[in-house]
A and B are shown apart, each in its own frame.
Chain A
Amino acid sequence: MIRKVLFALAMALTAFGGTASAADLSLSVEIPQLPVAEYHRPYVAVWIEGADQNIAANLAVWYQVRGDHTKWLPDLRQWWRRGGRDLKVPVDGLTGATRPVGQHLLKFDAARAPLTSLKPGQYTVVVEAVREVGGREAVRIPFEWPIKAAKRESATGSKELGAVALSLNP
């Protein structure tokens, strides 16, 4: 409940806070609580996919940073093939440690990297999660760039991901 309120608050802040000129893309990713005996936080990749299905912009990559656990990055199957394998991790501002169960908010300024590299067109936000001794899932939300009007789209994963919400603010 508290999480939901916080989430709503965060989304509201994202939508109405700041100056009018700061167009942005924000994304909320829920890592669900799972009733399993052996739980490991999932590896998660969040990226913007172009019409050619290649990565137009990487938004976040969460993996076990401590120790050399990049070994399991290819298990983020689609992210890996679409361009993750070309990336030398860690990357400042992109890669980070795995996140706990809950809502995670990501916010990107339209006027700053990595969004500045987007050409006008159709894109898809992809969130892919893979969990040790668990499963893999990808959730997709299509959108149009540049942002013309305020928009909120959402999708829900069935196993490894909970609610994913994309908020576009012109």
Chain B
Amino acid sequence: MKTSTLTTKLAALLVVMVPATGEAARAWLLPSQTILARSGGWVTVDAAMADDLFSFNQGAMQVDALSVSGPDGQPVAPQNPAKGKTRSSFDLELRQAGTYRIAVAENMVMARWEEDGKPKRWRGTPAEMATGIPANAAKLEVEQMQRRVETFVTVGTPTDVKPAAGTGIELKPVQHPNDLYARETAKIRFLLDGKPAADLEVEIIAGGTRYRDAPDEMTFKTDKDGEIAVTWPAAGMYWLEVSVQDEKATVPGVKKRRASYSGTFEVLTQ
């Protein structure tokens, strides 16, 4: 079965890439442009897993779970999809005015256990758990992973971005993600399972890390409304990440959960 082969391959890949701490390379989507004139047009989006922002120098991001929704909430089909060694990419034809959400949202389960004294690992969808994890697995540890990687593109006037999933971490912009400008302060709100995500640490890093000696990350803590206020130091492409570990897994039989949100945002000149 193709899906399971892919999953197995992905699991193998993750085992290689993920050290014991569970830290993976940074996941990001990079749109060729974020603001288009009212006539619309094409954008190309690259999807990669790489710590250098935004250099394709580690691995391509799997985009099986890609979903693009148009201003009317209807799905937009990606065109010319390609998976390379260092990045995946696809084109989007944006015909309608308004804001498009480009998201790769995954809901996976990771398990580790011991079999004949040897460590075993498995990664799959919640539905595959029953077949993927032996019923009598010793020292079994399972964790749900809700990962959401997003970016936004707007044709003409920005339109409302509504969080749709209601589970995991989502963005509920106060300032529109395609209306960010250097030296201005933007409020961004995060939701966890549809409710304001308070006390979460948010990290923001400007692109071009290769050309700096320090990552110069900015860190924020969400307030009781799940909000942070970011004053963008300069124009450019920025990467944001926020994650949480808790015991609010939504998969039956799983307790531990790790939810993450990462987004790419373009900040424009004054």
User: CB within 8 Å of B: which residues of A?
Assistant: 68, 70-74, 77-78, 80-81, 85-86, 88-89, 136
Contact = CB atoms under 8 A, between A and B. Distances in A.
5 closest Cβ contacts across the A-B interface? A74-B35, A70-B37, A85-B157, A71-B37, A73-B37
A53 to B, nearest CB: 11
Nearest to B39: A70
Contacts of A80: 35
Chain B's interface: helix, strand, loop or mixed, by majority? loop
B41 A71 contact: yes
Interface string B256-269: 00000000000011
Contacts of B179: 81
B179 to A, nearest CB: 7
Interface string B30-51: 0000011111010000000000
A164 to B, nearest CB: 18
A74 B269 contact: no
Nearest to B158: A85
Interface in B149-192: 156-157, 179, 181
A85 B41 contact: no
Nearest to A73: B37
Nearest to B270: A78
Given A68-B39, A71-B39, A73-B37, A85 B156 contact: yes
A71 B36 CA distance: 7
Given A71-B41, A85-B157, A86-B157, A77 B269 contact: yes
Given A70-B38, A88-B38, A81 B181 contact: yes
Contacts of B37: 70-74
Contacts of A136: 269
A80 B157 CA distance: 9
Nearest to B268: A77
B76 to A, nearest CB: 19
Given A71-B36, A80-B35, A85-B38, 17 more contacts: A70-B38, A71-B37, A71-B41, A72-B37, A73-B37, A74-B35, A74-B36, A77-B269, A77-B270, A78-B270, A81-B181, A81-B268, A85-B156, A85-B157, A86-B156, A88-B38, A136-B269
Contacts of A81: 179, 181, 268
A66 B76 CA distance: 30
Contacts of A89: 38
B92 to A, nearest CB: 16
24 contacts: A68-B39, A70-B37, A70-B38, A70-B39, A71-B36, A71-B37, A71-B39, A71-B41, A74-B35, A74-B37, A77-B268, A77-B269, A77-B270, A78-B270, A81-B179, A81-B181, A85-B38, A85-B156, A85-B157, A86-B156, A86-B157, A88-B38, A89-B38, A136-B269
A71 B35 CA distance: 10
A86 B157 CA distance: 6
Nearest to B34: A74
| Residue among A72, A81, A85, A136 with most chain B CB within 10 A | A85
Contacts of B35: 74, 80
Contacts of A85: 38, 156-157
Interface string B240-270: 0000000000000000000000000000111
